[in-house]
Amino acid sequence: MAWEVFSIVGTIAFAISGAIIAMEEEYDLFGVYILGIVTAFGGGAIRNLLIGLPVTTLWGQDMMFQIAIAAITIFFLFPHRLIQHWHRWGNFTDAIGLSAFAIQGALYAVKLDMPISAVIVAAVLTGSGGGIIRDLLARRQPLVLRDEIYGVWAALAGLIIGLQLFSGDLFLYVLFGVIIVLRVLSYMKKWRLPLRKLNRA
């Protein structure tokens, strides 16, 4: 049950996140759909490639594609006054997508009996892969590569799930909420990872 919930929630959240960035960059309607779809499914595609699953597995998610398209369409038709604070919307939907897909990716790796290192990598790539592709297509520096804490939360979710100390849907839903709160707090409180700059000669 939890797997399906996280798949749906992550797909909707990242589809809207991609649509927000596309609208900010003033892409046309087709561009909004493309960036929304890429954001929603990019992380899963990267994960599948690295763990040896065929990319064609992606095309078996017909219902998820329909959900993503519906979410983008509804968001695109929202009254302007409801989406004018796009930055706040974008950060929140991105946090939801990051949490949902990080957990989903970790569960996928655990299901395949992969070592904990692979579970963490699967969580990070599934949680942030779509956002990386989105940012690159929008000509932005990927959020996960900045000093802002982002991918660390996906890695934390992967570590907790990989240790398999807890189980059950309730635990996963609590973890989902915790990762969202941590991500939201990290950009609201401007938490940063250590940064070291090299002077150019």
At a CB cut-off of 8 Å and minimum separation 6, what does 145 contact? 132
CB-CB contact of 86 with 138 (8 Å): no
pLDDT of residue 3: 67
- The pTM for the full model equals 0.84
How far is Cα 147 from Cα 113, in angstroms, rounded to an integer? 32
- Report d(CA 9, CA 177) in Å as an integer: 12
At 194 the pLDDT is: 81
The pLDDT, as a whole number, for residue 84 is: 62
Give pLDDT tens digits along the chain (201 positions).
676 888 888 888 889 888 988 988 889 999 999 999 999 998 888 877 777 777 677 777 788 899 999 999 998 887 766 666 655 666 788 888 899 889 988 998 898 899 999 999 999 988 888 888 888 888 888 877 776 788 899 999 999 999 988 888 899 999 999 999 999 898 888 888 887 777 765
Contact 124, 161 (CB under 8 A): no
pLDDT at 89: 63
